[in-house]
């Protein structure tokens, strides 16, 4: 058993002995000081202590369950030193005392090496794995570990006794069933569902669970609109994942003093002046240059903040600030409608907007259901007859001056509506880059500008879809909208744009002016 705490907050850990092993055997892998001893900062020591934290009642015969945490996440800014630290961890996991072996006579934890370690350095591309692997080889070759691990290759390192270290990508060899003992998951802010990052992370974690192995996930701050592996780890409702994310106090990017104060917190012991290597003045210069075009990226990469990127279409907070919760308009109110339809994957939805600029999700039917259809709630397919009935009800209940409908997948229905309701129905193709860019910009502008009359009903589903929408670049500085990942939906964002575009076009055509009452001549 553990000896017990000598001071408040102390806990048992192999981190101190692993750190001592690293400083005795690992060297700086590049630069003017290549080959010199690799020394840990206080932050790195703290991370090791928590990552290798043990349960006080751990026993050697159940070493796989001795750990307090299944894996760890380290969130730090660019150039903090995540790459060399993970190289040192790989070295330790290959031949160092990282596996719990029991307690000594004084109640201190004892570690031993893995018999046949299988270590993977994982990323979503080969270039990304090179960030760690290309530093790992000289960390071994240029120091004492060259005698322990003599076989370092371009694509694989053989560890004496049958172990190995290898880089893998989401399209590579990280297959289910591989009995890996340790994994470095590098830059997981870029691991998305779309590039195979989710699957790679999940596969490695299942493989580690079978051997009692663990992973370290390193990342910059993530874009919260992308649903990256880094974000999923940070937001997971579990207590057995250690998360180390240092966030500096608020700072104005226009204020140099505030920026420097925040940078010193974000970079901690890696900053020059406290024994580190990062020149804060140089980093500040990079931050300011990037902030001119992409302030969100500057905050994520250098200030370690979770900020939505400029690739996001519309900031959710700005959208929510336009919410105006009121009763739905009465019968006969003049409105415009936006419609976007799918069949078995994306959602089908209708949004409406009054001619004075209040947008809302209409209700239909005796149960007053919202005009939003998720195929998964209808046996996997949108109920087309129900959608048609909802459109008919809305056209009869409100004075609909324009309905902008995106026809793909719904050509027959849109043709029927045009025949039924006349030129109020407009076939509006969202795949037209020039027109879609202009319409998206119009809604964006009317949400952001201070004197805009635009308001909306605060529909929570629409808010989620707005936040999910991303800008996909097109020629001539234009963009269309896309999803951050295939599992996310943006359909309510699209219909909001269509409803608003229809309203603005109707106002421009004079359809918002009060109608004149007809004069009747009565003959006697």
CB-CB neighbours of 419 under 10 Å: 9
Q: Cα 46 to the chain's mean position, in Å? A: 26
Q: What is the pLDDT of residue 113?
A: 97
What separation, in Å, do the N-terminal and C-terminal C-alpha atoms of the chain show? 111
CA distances from 470 to 310, 415, 438, 464 (A): 9, 30, 15, 12
CB 189 within 8 A of CB 222: yes
CB-CB neighbours of 108 under 10 Å: 13
Which domains are delineated in the chain?
A: 15-245 (3.40.50.300), 256-303 (no CATH), 316-508 (3.30.420.240)
Q: What is the pLDDT along the chain (524 residues), one digit of tens a residue?
A: 899 999 999 999 999 999 999 999 999 999 999 999 999 999 999 999 999 999 999 999 999 999 999 999 999 999 999 999 999 999 999 999 999 999 999 999 999 999 999 999 999 888 889 889 999 999 999 999 999 999 999 899 999 999 999 999 987 656 778 999 999 999 999 998 878 899 999 999 999 999 999 999 999 999 887 789 999 999 999 999 999 999 998 888 999 999 999 999 999 999 988 778 999 999 999 999 988 877 888 999 999 998 866 567 888 889 999 999 999 999 999 999 999 998 888 999 999 999 999 999 999 999 999 999 999 999 999 999 999 999 999 999 999 999 999 999 999 999 999 999 999 999 999 999 999 999 999 999 999 998 899 999 999 999 999 988 988 777 777 888 988 666 789 999 999 999 999 999 999 999 888 766 544 444 44
Please state, in angstroms and rounded to a whole number, the distance separating the CA atoms of residues 232 and 484: 14
Q: What is the pLDDT of residue 523?
A: 43
What pLDDT digit, counting tens, does each position of 382-392 carry? 999 999 999 99
Q: What is the pLDDT of residue 315?
A: 84
CB-CB neighbours of 477 under 10 Å: 7
- What is the three-state SS of 215-264? EEEEECCCCCCCCCHHHHHHHCCCCCEEEEECCCCCCCCCCHHHHHHHHH
CB 286 within 8 A of CB 267: no
CA distances from 49 to 98, 132, 243 (A): 12, 22, 13
Q: Is the dihedral of CA 128, 186, 277, 92 positive or negative?
A: negative
Q: What is the pLDDT of residue 343?
A: 80
Q: What is the pLDDT of residue 524?
A: 44
CB 68 within 8 A of CB 240: yes
Q: What is the pLDDT of residue 34?
A: 95
Give this prediction's pTM. 0.66
Backbone torsions φ then ψ of 509, nearest 5 degrees: -85, 0
- Cβ neighbors of 268 (< 8 A, separation 6 or more) are 41, 42, 43, 80, 246, 274, 276
Which H helix or E strand runs over 111?
Answer: strand 109-112
Please state, in angstroms and rounded to a whole number, the distance separating the CA atoms of residues 80 and 270: 6
Q: What is the pLDDT of residue 485?
A: 64
């Amino acid at each position: 058993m553990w000896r017990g705490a000598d001071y408040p907050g102390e806990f048992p850990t192999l981190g101190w002995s692993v750190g001592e092993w690293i400083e005795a055997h690992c060297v700086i892998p590049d630069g003017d000081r290549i080959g010199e001893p690799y020394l840990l900062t206080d932050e790195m020591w703290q991370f090791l202590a928590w990552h290798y934290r043990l349960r006080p009642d751990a026993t050697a015969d159940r070493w796989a369950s001795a750990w307090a945490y299944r894996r760890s996440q380290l969130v730090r800014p660019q150039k903090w030193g995540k790459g060399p630290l993970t190289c040192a961890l790989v070295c330790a996991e290959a031949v160092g005392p990282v596996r719990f072996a029991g307690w000594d006579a004084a109640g201190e934890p004892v570690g031993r090496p893995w018999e046949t370690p299988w270590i993977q350095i994982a990323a979503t591309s080969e270039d990304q794995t090179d960030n760690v692997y290309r530093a790992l080889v000289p960390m071994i070759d240029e120091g004492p570990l060259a005698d322990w691990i003599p076989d370092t290759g371009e694509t694989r390192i053989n560890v004496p006794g049958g172990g190995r270290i290898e880089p893998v990508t989401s399209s590579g060899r990280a297959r289910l069933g591989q009995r890996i003992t340790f994994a470095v998951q590098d830059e997981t802010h870029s691991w998305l569902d779309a590039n195979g990052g989710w699957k790679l992370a999940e596969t490695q974690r299942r493989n580690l669970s079978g051997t009692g192995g663990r992973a370290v996930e390193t990342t910059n701050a993530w874009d919260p609109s992308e649903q990256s592996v880094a974000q999923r780890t940070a937001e997971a409702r579990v207590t057995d994942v250690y998360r180390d994310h240092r966030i500096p106090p608020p700072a104005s990017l226009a204020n140099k003093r505030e920026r420097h104060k925040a940078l010193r917190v974000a970079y901690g012991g890696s900053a020059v002046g406290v024994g580190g290597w990062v020149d804060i003045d140089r980093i500040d210069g990079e931050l300011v240059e990037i902030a001119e075009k992409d302030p969100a990226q500057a905050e994520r990469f250098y200030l370690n903040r979770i900020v939505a990127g400029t690739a996001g279409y519309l900031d959710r907070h700005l959208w929510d600030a336009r919410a105006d919760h009121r009763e739905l308009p009465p019968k006969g109110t003049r409105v415009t409608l936006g419609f976007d339809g799918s069949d078995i994957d994306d959602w089908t939805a209708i949004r409406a907007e009054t001619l004075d600029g209040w947008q809302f999700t209409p209700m239909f039917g005796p149960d007053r259901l919202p005009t939003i259809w998720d195929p998964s709630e209808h046996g996997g397919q949108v109920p087309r007859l129900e959608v048609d009935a909802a459109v008919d009800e809305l056209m009869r209940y409100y004075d609909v001056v324009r309905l902008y409908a995106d026809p793909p997948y719904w050509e027959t229905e849109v043709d029927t509506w045009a025949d039924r309701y006349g030129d109020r129905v407009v076939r509006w193709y969202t795949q037209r880059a020039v027109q879609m860019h202009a319409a998206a910009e119009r809604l964006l502008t009317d949400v952001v500008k201070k004197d805009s009359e635009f308001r909306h009903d605060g529909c929570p589903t629409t808010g989620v879809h707005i936040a999910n929408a991303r800008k996909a670049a097109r020629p001539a500085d234009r963009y269309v909208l896309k999803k951050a990942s295939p599992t996310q939906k943006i359909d309510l964002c699209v219909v909001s744009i269509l409803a608003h575009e229809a309203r603005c076009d109707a106002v421009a055509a004079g359809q918002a002016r009060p109608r004149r009452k007809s004069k009747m001549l009565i003959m006697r």
